[in-house]
Structure 1
Amino acid sequence: MTITRTSDGRKSDPRLKVVDEIATTHLFDIAVDLDPRLNIGDGPFGKRILFGAAGGSFEGPELRGEVLPGGGDWALFRSDGGMSVDVRLTLRTHDGALVYMSYGGRWIVPAELREDIADPVKSRQVDPARYYFRTTPMFETGAKQYAWLNDIVCVGSGYLIEGGVAYQVSRVI
């Protein structure tokens, strides 16, 4: 069934309701330092590269701390030039709590920017507004003071930085 809106804005399927638009609020900014890449190679779904996490930091209004070494992005470079993100990180808050952060996402770089993005110097100079780098972070923790993280959904906007990658992470409210 095709869903259309009537002249007064209602949806033609009476089961559907108009709900508030999705809104977000800033959760934190995170910088992830990366180890040298490990090229796993061309497989049946594309080229798999591991960008290992060497450390980093995060800071926002409700929490801050460090990115622990040992996580990483098991990125899949697709034949169409896009990249699928598959990241797992461990965060340690300023007060010692451990938080598991995982996210998927997409990094889509227009063909005319791919040569510059592949260059270690030029890549950090490309305006992030010229490519699409979005993620969907989720969290797990046993720390009581951060248990609220277990129940939220987030979105992130990524960009390249010296030595790694950074994201602005927002909580969907």
Structure 2
Amino acid sequence: MTMDTRIRDVRGLETRPLFDMAIDLEAPLNIGGPLGHRALFGAARGTFEGPKLRGEVLPGGGDWALFRTDATMNLDVRITLRVDDGAQVYMSYSGRWTTPPELRPEMGDSATRHLVDPDRYYFRTAPMFETGAPNYRWLNDIVCVGFGYFIDGGVAYRVFEVL
């Protein structure tokens, strides 16, 4: 098969750190449903910090997670960030958390899942932002990727801007 001549050799993905974020989660609200098990993990509070912005995750958002029958979780997260100068930023992201079968007993225990090495499971996100704050409008025009992992009481992410 011949390669389509319209395909160009473009550079690969490059990223730079945007921020690290930790979110404390409320106890899940188990909803159920026909597509798998739906649960809401409310964001109780949190923090984020990076080279260009830092602040807090406000209560009231959360993850409307869907635990699929194949043991992958689809994330549907919406939260509000308050930057340390008072500006507010809406952050939403989808993603996937996939746990290999041999790790499921360890990851199923909320008291100890944060002790499992994040390199042993797949937890990736695609954050997007919206804000009207003049100093942060640049966030409206970027694409990001995030690497998630569990911490005591919640989740954490390393978020990178795709260049």
TM-score (normalised: structure 2): 0.98
Q: Secondary structure at the match of 1:104?
A: strand
Q: For residue 112 of structure 1, what is the aligned residue in structure 2?
A: 102
Deviation of the 1:44 alpha carbon: 1.6
Structure 1 gap segments, 5+ residues each: 5-11
Give the counterpart of 2:65 among 75, 85, 104: 75
Instruction: Report 1:81-92 matches (<5 A).
Output: 81-92=71-82
Q: For residue 21 of structure 1, what is the aligned residue in structure 2?
A: 12
Instruction: Report 1:20-169 matches (<5 A).
Output: 20-41=11-32, 43-169=33-159
- Specify the code of the residue in structure 1 equivalent to 2:25: L
Deviation of the 1:118 alpha carbon: 1.0
Aligned pairs, how many? 163
Deviation of the 1:122 alpha carbon: 2.2
Structure 2 gap segments, 5+ residues each: none
Hey, what's the Cα distance between the residues in 1 that align with 2:102 and 2:111? 17
Hey, what's the Cα distance between the residues in 2 that align with 1:122 and 1:93? 31
Q: For residue 9 of structure 1, what is the aligned residue in structure 2?
A: none
**1:99-124 Cα distance to aligned partner (Å, 9 max, x none):** 00000000000011111111123201
- Specify the code of the residue in structure 2 equivalent to 1:105: G
- Specify the code of the residue in structure 1 equivalent to 2:137: A
**1:52-74 Cα distance to aligned partner (Å, 9 max, x none):** 00010000000000000000000
Identity %: 64
- Specify the code of the residue in structure 2 equivalent to 1:35: E
Q: Secondary structure at the match of 1:14?
A: coil
- Specify the code of the residue in structure 2 equivalent to 1:44: P
- Specify the code of the residue in structure 2 equivalent to 1:170: F
Single out whichever of 82-91 and 120-129 deviates more from structure 2.
Answer: 120-129
Deviation of the 1:51 alpha carbon: 0.3
TM-score (normalised: structure 1): 0.92
- Specify the code of the residue in structure 2 equivalent to 1:57: T
Q: Secondary structure at the match of 2:107?
A: helix
